[in-house]
């Protein structure tokens, strides 16, 4: 986070030791001064955070991962994890595995995922492609989405947005399978005036703490 967007951290006040005897006038002056400084700092921080555009002071886990290589289904009706070998943002969320498929938040919470995939059909036949969510090796029920594409050279963009609970130490993989191998998750090289088109791209953002009772997949 940029230095100009930081709130000074509130530190515990170093209160003076109560003097013995009856000479406490100076002690009370020191105590009041220290408490005044402490509460001024606390008030300033709270006012900044709760004031207009106070959200700019919050550092929230977020990430953006993408791939600039083509990805293929070597066999029909076989599950593959989408790959994201490049990181643009990675604040308390990392990408792990070889190849890089495991999206791993540092902190527990509910995370929103926004996925975009560039599909290229390389034959005239109609193809059915499924995408779904896998958490730490376990497929999550009711997360599959079906996409149909046909025509040689036909390019479609598949988009999928969802939210899911993730505990620290767990990871998310975005899976896909096709009933036909004549399909590619296709990246496009930069061609003026447009930059590179990634084959896969996902953004991840923390949106909430975990609920008290976790949902049953």
pLDDT tens per residue, range 188-197 = 999 999 999 9
188: helix, strand or coil:
strand
Kindly indicate the confidence band of residue 215, based on its pLDDT and cuts at 50, 70 and 90. Answer: confident
What is the average per-residue pLDDT within 175-186? 97
pLDDT tens per residue, range 63-105 = 999 999 999 999 999 999 999 999 999 999 999 999 999 999 9
Which tops the pLDDT comparison, 121 or 1?
A: 121
> Do 15 and 34 contact (CB within 8 A), yes or no?
yes
| Calpha distance 101→114 (Å, rounded) | 15
> What is the pLDDT of the chain when averaged over all its residues?
91
pLDDT of residue 169: 94
Same domain, 70 and 52: no
- Write down which residue in 56, 78, 95 finishes a domain: 56
- Write down which residue in 56, 79, 96 finishes a domain: 56
129: helix, strand or coil:
strand
Same domain, 96 and 23: no
Beta carbons within 8 Å of 165's beta carbon, 6+ residues apart:
109, 110, 111, 210, 211, 214, 215
217 falls within a domain: no
Which tops the pLDDT comparison, 137 or 40?
A: 137
Domain that holds residue 33: 3-56
Ramachandran quadrant class, 92 (left: phi over 0; alpha: psi -120 to 50; beta: rest):
left
85 falls within a domain: yes
The total number of structural domains in the chain stands at: 2
CATH code of the domain covering residue 178:
2.60.120.40
């Amino acid at each position: 986070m940029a230095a100009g967007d930081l709130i000074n951290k509130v530190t515990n006040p170093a209160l003076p030791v109560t003097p013995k005897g009856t000479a406490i006038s100076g002690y009370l002056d020191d105590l009041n001064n220290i408490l005044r400084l402490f509460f001024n700092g606390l008030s300033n921080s709270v006012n900044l955070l709760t004031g207009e555009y106070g959200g700019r002071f919050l550092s929230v886990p977020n990430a953006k991962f993408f791939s600039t290589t083509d990805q293929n289904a070597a066999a029909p009706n076989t599950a593959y994890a989408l790959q994201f070998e490049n990181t643009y943002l990675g604040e308390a969320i990392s990408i792990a595995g070889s190849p890089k498929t495991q999206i791993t938040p540092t902190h527990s919470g509910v995370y929103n995922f926004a996925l975009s995939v560039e599909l290229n059909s390389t034959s005239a036949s109609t193809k059915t492609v499924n995408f779904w969510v896998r958490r730490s090796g376990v497929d999550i029920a009711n997360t599959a989405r079906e996409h149909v594409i046909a025509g040689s050279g036909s390019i479609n963009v598949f988009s999928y947005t969802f939210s899911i609970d993730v505990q620290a130490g767990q990871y998310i993989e975005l899976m896909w399978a096709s009933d036909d191998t004549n399909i590619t998750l296709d990246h496009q090289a930069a061609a003026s005036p447009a930059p590179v088109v990634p084959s896969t791209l996902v953004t991840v953002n923390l949106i909430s703490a975990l609920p008290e009772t976790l949902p049953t997949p």
